[in-house]
Amino acid sequence: MFLQLCPPAIAKCNALQRFPCNPLGDECYNDINRIYAYDRGGIIVIINNSDKESYIELPAWSGVYDDVITGEKKTAYNQVLRLTIGPQTYHILKREF
- The alpha carbon of 35 is separated from its chain's Cα centroid by a whole number of angstroms, namely 10
pTM: 0.70
Question: Average pLDDT over the chain, rounded to whole?
Answer: 78
Separation between Cα atoms, residue 45 and residue 25, nearest integer Å: 11
Query: Domain 2-95 belongs to what topology?
Result: Immunoglobulin-like (2.60.40)
Q: Is 82 a residue whose pLDDT tops 50?
A: yes
Q: Is 45 a residue whose pLDDT tops 50?
A: yes
Band (pLDDT 50/70/90 cuts) for residue 4 is: low
